[in-house]
Every structure is written in structure tokens, then in C-alpha cells.
Amino acid sequence: MAPMSQAWAFSFLLLLALFSSFLICSSNGERVFLYPQSPKVSSIVSKRYRTAYHFQPPKNWINDPNGPMYYNGFYHEFYQYNPNGSLWGNIVWGHSVSTDLVNWIRLEAAIERDTPSDINGCWTGSATILTGGQLVIIYTGADTEKRQVQNIVLPKNQSDPYLREWIKVGDNPVIEPVGPGLNSSQFRDPTTGWIGPDGLWRIAVGAELNGYSAALLYKSKDFLTWTRVDHPLYSSKTFSMWECPDFFAVLPGNKSGLDLSAAIPNGAKHVLKMSLDSCDKYMIGVYDLKLDTFVPDTVLEDRRLWLRIDYGNYYASKSFFDSKKGRRIIWGWTNETDSSSDDVAKGWAGIHAIPRTIWLGGDGKQLLQWPVQEIESLHTGEISHQGIELKKGDLFEIKGTDTLQADVEIDFELTSNNNTDPFDPSWLLDTEKHCREADASVHGGVGPFGLVVLASDNMEEHTTVHFRVYKSQHKYMILMCSDLRRSSLRPGLYTPAYGGFFEFDLEKEKKISLRTLIDRSAVESFGGGGRVCIMARVYPVALVDDGGARMYAFNNGSSTVRVPQLRAWSMTRAQVNVNKV
């Protein structure tokens, strides 16, 4: 099928977009807004930024996902929650349940600040299902002296399908920040427990030890009395404190998840994830049972090169084994990128990204992620196109879906790799910089090509998610960017150009896939079958104004790309925490 628009259209619209940037940046670098402002521009309390199918409570602040689990027919999602407002503070554990990971029932807070060991905050923690089925949650409390301690709660009535009430055990805190070199205000976020061959339970706790980051290792027979192992599970001199460590086992090339409460099969690798530098990074390695330590396959001194769960706005993630479907699922928190005064005006802040199935690729080198299949129950009105050819400068408008709430899957096939530009490894140190410099308007050999989403009629506002193909010595490297710099005409917003690279075997794989979930102020993208994921928040003015949002596939590289398959669906609104029982 011939593309519906011509090369000139793309160039014209990009020029227009470029021009709009002159209008919002003065020569001395200060941001000034010269556009005639519609009275609605300041209407940031607009409900139209609220997501329709991402997890969030009806109001107030949320951050980290806590203690996710599947138990007795229900998925449980707990979360860091401020019951009193839309800024961080007064943190308790909010609680919701679901049978399908899509629609959520809101319950009362599960853990509140009402004992000396958590009076200053009930912070992040994890759930473990012990042998015999006993459920237990371990979480960080900020105590009366603002020390960080670890506490335990148990369900009051384990046969209550909603597990509404949780009882704090008398032994709290079960772990205190004691020992030389341990910073008592940097000691938090215990992991889910795993069982060792000696039958003892283990957890890791994020900590600052002698000024360095460490995942401290603790052992227990009964999950109540804990002894610190004399060495950390893993430590690194690259940073002072890791938050929210997550430690789990995976089988290379196997999408099935592994249950940490059972013996881990031979051939499994382990993943240590940690939250630092405003993003979630991870290492793949082996868990040495004899030494009780994690040994990464590769140790990179420069932490800018560490693998990332997501290259966008995604933090404090936590995974769990879903025994219903035998998979591992990861949840992460996505903050607002408007200002805190916007959040006060909106009355809410923070969402959770779509739960993703997570597994280790066949080469054992990186994790792959994909939105849980259940999210497809929201699909409606499928449109599809085959055999689109995108020449340099072409824009193909994707019509017929609700462009504010959509799921788009598109494959790009290269017609030639003769023009690929050479790869410079120094780009890996700052992929955002490279995405800014080589943005969608900069012609390349192969690429940029991808999607333009949430575009206003005249393209003054738009977000691009796109790829560029580079030739490295023996392989191809693909850059995926999610460029928010033109996502909104509102001045002063944080609008980065996120980016990540992945290796690609062009001869074998041929197609580069992109899936993007658009949910009003959320644009969540999965490139190369889930090798690079980028979560982003955008606040287009056109959205508040009830203006149109258009969506396009485009190519701006010298080589023609083919789109053998493009499918898109509108997404119906999910029942997310609207009902309370």
C-alpha cells in the first residue's frame, strides 16, 4: 500500500515543530512562552491527564509498588501512599486486589504508621509465601528516631480472599541497623525471601555500608529471628546506597518464571536489580550457594553502562512469581514530570507502569519484558495495515483508533542495510544526549523510523518513539528513543529524550518491532520484542483543550523501510480502583 502522505509533508511538519522551539526558548536560554496562550492552557487540573488503564488510586500521591503477589485467586498490589495529599509524606501501604491485573478493587490501607517502629513511615517491602502457605510481609519502618528498621506483618485472617487486615508482630522491629559502618538512615527495602539448600530463609536489604552500596544478606529459620551474614549478597563501590533491591532466578530463553520459595533448578541464572540514579539497573550472574553471594557475569566499573529495566521514567520496581500462570511479573513506579504544584492542583501524582512479564533472553545477556497478556482484554476496534512502504520523509497517518488510549504494534523491515551509519561506543555513556542530538528530524542512513504519537493537528506538539540502526564491528546496534521535547507546549516541563541501545542480528531477525501503549499522559514503549523499554509521561496542551491527537508511522532515513504489519487498537477504560469494598 502506498503511504498516504508525501515526503514534503514530513519535512514541513518537522520544520514547523523546530520553529515552535524558537518560540519557547529565548536567546539567553531562559524559557519564555511567546505563543498566544489559550485560557485553558493553565487548566492543569484537567482530568484528561489521568490515565485510563494504568494503576493509580483515585487521588493523592503514590510511589513504589510493594509486596506484589498472587494468593488464593487474587493478585495483590500494595503501594507507597500518602493518604493526606499529592506530595510524598505520611507514607502507608495502600492496597488493591484484582483477578486479572487490569481491573482493581481498592481496599483500606494494609499497613499504617501506628507503632514506634514505623511511626515516621511504612516504607517499601516485599511479600513471601512461606513453605506451607503462610504469608508474610517484611517492610521498612522509619522509627521514632528516624532510624530505618525492618518490620513484619502477617494477615489477620489468611482465608479472607482480600487479605484486608494485617497484624504487626510483637517482635518488631525484627532487624535493626546495627553493626560497624552501617548507616541507620540508609537501610531499607527488604526483598522477597528465598530458601537456601540448608532450609533457611534469606532476604537482602539495601544499605549504605562504609559509604558504599550493599545488598546486605540476612538468614532466618522462621522469618522472625534474623541473623546478618558476615558478607553482603553483593556490594559495589560505585554508589552510596541502592534502593529497592530485587533478587530473582531466571532460566535463559525460558519465559516461565521461577518460584523463590522452591528449589532453584540447575542452569538458572540470578538477577540483582537495584534502584539508583533515578532508574532501575540490573546485573545478571550466578548465585553461589556455597559462598552465599551473587557473582555477576560482568562487572562494569562505570555504572552508566549497567543494563536497565527501563530507559525512561520507571523506578523502584519489584517482581513476583505468579503461580497462577507460572510467570514472573514486574511492577514499577512512574512519577509525574510536571511540577509539584501541578500535582497539588491535580490532587494526584504517580502511576504504576503496566505489569510486565519478565524473562531472560536465550543468550543469557539481557532481560526481556512484555505487557501482561491480560491487558489485551481492553482492546477494541482493531485496525491493521500490511505492506506499507515508508520512503525517506514519509508520514503514514494511523487512523481509526482512539489515539489517546491505544495499543499499537508495528514491525519495521529494512530493505537495505548498505547505508547504516557507524556506531560510536561512547554514545552508550549518555544515550539521552545522543537521542537529543540525533533526533527524528536528523536524517540517517537507516532510520530514524518509528511512531509519532499524541500529535496536535499542526504538529506543534508531538512525541516520537523511533529507531536508528548502526553498524558496529561485528554486529548491528539499534538505538531506540522516546523524545518528549515537543510533547507539550507548556513551558518548564521536564521533557527529556530518553534512549537505550540493543544489539540486533539483522541477518537473522530482519524485523524490528515496536509496541507502544498510549494512555493519555503515559507513553509506554517496548522495542525489539522487549529488549529496550521506555516509559514516559507527557502533558500535551491539546489534550487538555480536547484537541485532536494524531498518530503516524514515519521514516526519515535514506533507506526505505517496509512495514509488513501494523496493528492498533483503542483501549477501553479499565476499572482501576474506582470501586471500594
CB of 103 or CB of 124, closer to ligand DQQ:
124
Of residues 63, 191, 401, 555, which one binds ligand DQQ by CB under 6 A? 63
C-alpha cell at 413: 523491515
Binding residues for ligand DQQ, rule CB under 6 A, total 14
Give the closest residue to 488 by CA, choosing from 46, 124, 67, 109.
46
Asked if 316 touches ligand DQQ (CB under 6 A), the answer is: yes
Quick note: the x/- pattern for ligand DQQ over 126-155, rule CB under 6 A, is: --------------x---------------
Residue 531 touches ligand DQQ, criterion: CB under 6 A: no
CA–CA distance, 111 with 91 (Å, rounded to integer): 9
Letters for 408-437 (x = contact with ligand DQQ by CB under 6 A, - = none) are ------------------------------
Residues numbered 471 to 500 that lie near ligand DQQ (CB under 6 A) are none
Among 46, 60, 80, 335, the residue binding ligand DQQ under the rule CB under 6 A is 80
- The minimum distance between CB 111 and ligand DQQ, in angstroms, equals 12
Q: Exposure string (b/e) for 245-268, b if CB count within 10 Å is 16 or more?
A: bbbbbbbeeeeebbbbbeebeeeb
CB of 204 to ligand DQQ, least distance (A): 13
Report the residue number, 62 or 469, with the smaller CB distance to ligand DQQ. Answer: 62
Q: Is 243 in the site for ligand DQQ (CB under 6 A)?
A: yes
**Phi–psi pair at 67, nearest 5 degrees:** 45, 40
Residue nearest to ligand DQQ (CB): 123
Strand extents, DSSP E, 156-211: 166-168, 182-188, 194-195, 201-209
- H runs (alpha helix) in 368-454: 431-437
Of 44 and 91, the one with the shorter C-beta distance to ligand DQQ is 91
Q: What is the 3-state secondary structure (H, E, C) of 406-425?
A: EEEEEEEEECCCCCCEECCH
Q: Is 565 exposed, middle or buried (0-12, 13-18, 19+ CB in 10 A)?
A: middle
Residue whose grid cell is 522469618: 223
Chain Cα centroid distance, residue 83: 24
CA-CA-CA-CA torsion sign (303, 306, 312, 313): negative
Contacts of 19 (CB under 8 A, 6+ apart): none
State the minimum distance, in angstroms, from the CB of residue 274 to ligand DQQ: 11
- Shortest Cβ distance from residue 482 to ligand DQQ (Å)? 22
Query: Site for ligand DQQ (CB under 6 A): which residue of 95, 168, 188, 468?
Result: 188
For position 244 contacting ligand DQQ by CB under 6 A, the verdict is yes
Q: For the CB of residue 91, give the shortest distance to ligand DQQ in the complex, in Å.
A: 5
The correct pick among 91, 111, 398, 477 for binding ligand DQQ (CB under 6 A) is 91
Distance of CA 463 to the CA centre of its chain: 18
The amino acid present at 159, given as its one-letter code, is S
User: What is the distance, to the nearest Å, from the Cα of residue 219 to the centroid of all Cα atoms in its chain?
Assistant: 30
Would you count residue 203 as binding ligand DQQ (CB under 6 A)?
no
Spatial contact of 447 and 466, defined as CB atoms under 8 Å apart: yes
User: Which lies closer to ligand DQQ via its Cβ, residue 281 or residue 531?
Assistant: 281
Cα first-last separation, the chain: 52
Residue indicated by cell numbers 482493581: 104
Q: State the DSSP code for 520.
A: T
Specify the residue, 64 or 292, whose C-beta has the smaller distance to ligand DQQ.
64
From candidates 123, 166, 187, 320, binder to ligand DQQ by CB under 6 A:
123
- Count of positions (residues) in the chain: 581
**Could you say whether residue 95 binds ligand DQQ (CB under 6 A)?**
no
Q: Which of 77, 189, 292, 407 binds ligand DQQ (CB under 6 A)?
A: 189
CB of 15 to ligand DQQ, least distance (A): 41
| Options 46, 86, 103, 124; binder of ligand DQQ; rule CB under 6 A | 124
Residue 20, SS3 per DSSP? helix
CB of 226 to ligand DQQ, least distance (A): 18
Active-site annotation holds for 277: no
Residues 270/294, Cβ–Cβ less than 8 Å: yes
Measured CA to CA, the distance from residue 29 to residue 341 in angstroms comes to 23
User: Which of 146, 156 has the CB closer to ligand DQQ?
Assistant: 146
- Residues in a beta bridge with 239: none
Nearest approach in angstroms of CB 353 to ligand DQQ is: 14
Residue from 70, 498, 507 nearest 261 by CA: 70
Identify the active-site residue in 64, 322, 342, 439: 64
Report, in Å, the least distance between residue 175 CB and ligand DQQ: 14
DSSP H/E element including 449? strand 446-455
Q: Cβ(374)–Cβ(100) under 8 Å?
A: yes
Cell readout for 243 is 534502593
Could you tell me the smallest distance in angstroms from the CB atom of residue 454 to ligand DQQ? 27
Whose Cβ is closer to ligand DQQ: residue 57's or residue 530's? Answer: 57
265-284 residues near ligand DQQ, rule: CB under 6 A: 275
Given candidates 44, 53, 56, 64, which one binds ligand DQQ under the rule CB under 6 A?
64
- Nearest residue to 173 via CA among 125, 207, 214, 234: 125
What residues contact residue 438 under an 8 Å CB cut-off, 6+ apart? 444, 448, 468, 479
Q: Check residue 318 for interaction with ligand DQQ (CB under 6 A).
A: no
The contact set with ligand DQQ (CB under 6 A) reads 63-64, 80, 91, 123-124, 140, 188-189, 243-244, 275, 315-316
Active site residues: 64
